[in-house]
Every structure is written in C-alpha cells, then in structure tokens.
Structure 1
Amino acid sequence: MNFTHGVYLVTEPVDGITDIAVAASRGGLDLIQVRDKTASTAQLVEIAGMIRSRAGVPVIANDDLDAAAKVDGIHVGVTDIPPTRAREALGAEAIIGWSVNDIAQLDDVEQVRACDYLAVSPVWATPTKPDHEAPLGLEGVRAIAGRSPVPVVAIGGIDLERAAEAVAAGADAVAAVSAVTRASDPHQVVRALGAAVSRGRIR
C-alpha cells in the first residue's frame, strides 16, 4: 500500500456519508475504509460501491469478506478473521489491513506478511470507539513502526497536531474518522491533515 498523501478515511454511519467521503477524497486521500457494524453485507456493498465509483480512490470494507470481494479489500481487527484467511479468500491484489493493539502481534510473522499495512490502534483515546484497548501512544507507534515490514497507519484521537506527531514517530499515514466525517468542510480538513503529515515527515 502506497500512502502518498498519508491520509486515510474510516467512515462511520452518519447521514450523507457518501457525499462526505467524496468531498474528503478531493482533499487528498489514499484509502477509504467503509465501517458500519450495524449494516448488512448488502448495505456495505451499496455504500462502498457508491463511494468507490465517485471518490476515485481505493475503498475497502471493514470485517466483511463478502463486501470486501466487491471492492478493493478489507480491514480486520484482532478479534476478526485473521489476515491470512482474508488473503486466501481475496487474493494477491486485495488490500488487507490489520489493527495492532499490542506489539506482540508482530511476532506472528505469517499474519503480518499477509498484510499491506498495519494500523496502530488506538494511538490516543477516541470517542468514536469507546470500547477500544488502552492507547498505545507515540511510543507504541515508534515500537511498531520500528519492527513492521509494511506501512504503518496511526489511528485514534487524530487531529492536526497529533497527525504530525504520529508521522514524526514513524507512521506512514494517519487515519481519521470523526475529525473528517463530522467536519463542516471535509475537503479542507483532509487537506490540512495532509499538510500535517508532510510536516511530520520532515521533523
């Protein structure tokens, strides 16, 4: 996975999410993950397909192999199907991401090799996912980025200042949810996040 802009959008089930994601894509996104734990596979396919056709960037589904097969790949968490199974089901060209809540996950070399990126999750506490694991902080980003053979994405509590800090700590990209989906101007927020990523890369 090539994170040129360094900004990755994870959607949430809010009104107008397709238009939000499309507006955000114009600010410079590398990837969009469609995440809605209440949606059926058919609903995920419909939403992800609409976003994909209009946004012009790769779109992956969260934890749904059937939906993922209709788009560009899948993101899985620690308690979801393992990346190796996703790779076997979706093939070599699919984008596969895996949430890392504990650096010990990198000891499972087979799972890591099945991934295109790892998401350090969460870096900071986030209201988007109140049941998340303990935040890993910048030290967690440094530790995981230092060992990962694939790109690392920082997610959880990302704002403009933290985006730069996470990238300076070793992340290749940042993933945002509510900072974009609940913004009055998603396009400008994504542009600003991209600028923050650029600052982090030269620190």
Structure 2
Amino acid sequence: MLTTGQQKLTEVAHIAAACPTALVDVLHIREKQHGAREITDWYAQLQPLFPSSAIYVNDRLDAALAMQAPGVQLGYHSLSVRLSRLILPAAVRIGCSVHSAAEAVEAAGQGADYVMYGHVYESGSKPGLAPRGIAALAAVVEACPIPVIAIGGITLERVDEVLSTGCSGIALLSAILLHPEPAQQIIRYREALNQTQYKPRRGYH
C-alpha cells in the first residue's frame, strides 16, 4: 500500500487506526511534495499503526536512514540503484520504479531487490497517460530476474488477471486510502490475493 500524496498525515493516521493493518505487507510513504523532516514525521506517526508491516520510504534516502527503514523505493529522479546501494546498509531492500523490461533488467543488474512496474491499467494518479497493459507486464515479469510488483488501476476484479502474469504482488494507492471503506478494501484485496490460483514467478520475501 502506498500513500497518495493527496492527504494529510492526520487523515492517513486516522484511516490506518481503523484498519486491519496486519493484512498490509508493506506501507510505502510516497509523499513527493514533502522534505526529509516531514517524511520522518510521517514515518514516526505511522509506524505504531502498522506494527506488522514493513514501512518503506520513497526516494528520500536521508529520511530512510534516519528512521532505519527496512526498504526504499527509487524513482526516475532518485539516485541510481548502484549509488543507493553504496549508501544504504546491506539489509535495506531497494525497489525501483520501472516502465519497461529493459529498465527492469537494468535495475536488477545494479542490485535492486525488486521492481515496481506500471501503470498497468488506467489510473487516476496518472491522468492522460495511456496504460501499459497486461501483456507488457507479463513481458517484464518474463525478462526480469527479480520480483516484479504491479501498480496502477488494479481493481478487485483485475487482481487475478494481474497475478496470472507471474508478478510477485500488487501495489495500491487510491483503491485503499481514497476509498470510502478502506478497512473493508484491505480485507477484500487480501482475500483476493489469498484465493488466487496463480503463483508468483519469484517470491517477494
């Protein structure tokens, strides 16, 4: 689950306090408009509300280091995976956002632990940009030697189709935190993941 960049920390914390957060494997703090100090505040306030989840920091390695985060997510404008690996402790997982099979293979070669690929379907967080589609996701999974996490427009009805590609998981933004029933949505998505017949090509953990 990723934060949306559209909500205040107080709102996200209020939602999380009423949700079964134990069903969330990873929470990504993805607040591109905030600086390192604000990101550390987000981390400190959300960590007690997600005691069973790993909390990753998007882009800001300084904040991730300060909070001893177990993982980071790198974007196009972030430091490279190779340079980030030089800075971060060996145990910290590095994810990289990619938009093609070639980018996924490059990220793996630089030492990424996983890649996040999208947007698979039309997504409100990427208005006006054409989705890359399920066939492209399958091609990335086939080419990439590390786990691939799918993101973008993944409704409950599409979970099985996404997982049929062999990807290692899904990432959600508005489908949880901007939904009128966030707690129920977490339960619904967890059930969809648990009930699928498809197996990931590569395990995420």
TM-score computed with the length of structure 2 as normaliser:
0.85
Q: 1:147 to 1:66 in 2, by over 3 A?
A: same
Q: Which amino acid aligns with 2:31?
A: D
Cα distance per residue 1:59-110 (max 9 Å; x no partner): 111111111112222101123211122222112111211111011113426x
Aligned residues: 193
Match of residue 4 from structure 1: none
Match of residue 99 from structure 2: 101
Q: Structure 1: how far apart are the matches of 2:73 and 2:54? A: 12
Q: Are the aligned partners of 1:61 and 1:68 in contact in 2 as well (CA < 8 Å)?
A: yes
Mapped pair 1:17 → 2:12:
yes
Q: 1:179 to 1:107 in 2, by over 3 A?
A: closer
Task: Quote how far apart the aligned CAs of 1:167 are.
Answer: 0.8
Q: Structure 2: how far apart are the matches of 1:81 and 1:43? A: 20
Q: Secondary structure at the match of 2:73?
A: strand
Match of residue 115 from structure 2: 118
Aligned residue runs from structure 1 range 30-179, under 5 A: 30-56=25-51, 57-69=53-65, 70=67, 71-108=69-106, 111-112=108-109, 114-130=111-127, 134-179=130-175
Percent identical among aligned pairs is 26
Of the two, which has the highest radius of gyration?
2
Q: Structure 1: how far apart are the matches of 2:20 and 2:112? A: 23
Q: Structure 2: how far apart are the matches of 1:112 and 1:53? A: 35
Q: Which runs of 5+ in 1 are unaligned?
A: 1-8
Task: Quote how far apart the aligned CAs of 1:173 are.
Answer: 0.8
Q: Structure 1: how far apart are the matches of 2:33 and 2:136? A: 30
Q: 1:131 to 1:75 in 2, by over 3 A?
A: farther
- Across the aligned residues of Structure 1 and Structure 2, the Cα RMSD in angstroms comes to 2.1
Q: Structure 2: how far apart are the matches of 1:25 and 1:82? A: 34
Does 69-78 or 54-63 show the bigger shift? Answer: 69-78
Q: Secondary structure at the match of 1:187?
A: helix
Q: Structure 2: how far apart are the matches of 1:87 and 1:18? A: 31
Q: 1:128 to 1:106 in 2, by over 3 A?
A: closer
TM-score computed with the length of structure 1 as normaliser:
0.85
Q: Are the aligned partners of 2:104 and 2:115 in contact in 1 as well (CA < 8 Å)?
A: no
Match of residue 26 from structure 1: 21
Q: Are the aligned partners of 1:27 and 1:188 in contact in 2 as well (CA < 8 Å)?
A: no
Residue number among 177, 191, 196 corresponding to 1:200 in the alignment: 196
Task: Quote how far apart the aligned CAs of 1:38 are.
Answer: 1.3
Cα distance per residue 1:122-172 (max 9 Å; x no partner): 11121123375x422111221111122222111001110112211112111
Q: 1:152 to 1:183 in 2, by over 3 A?
A: same
Q: Are the aligned partners of 2:160 and 2:198 in contact in 1 as well (CA < 8 Å)?
A: no
Higher normalized contact order (CA 8 Å, seq sep 6+, divided by chain length): 1
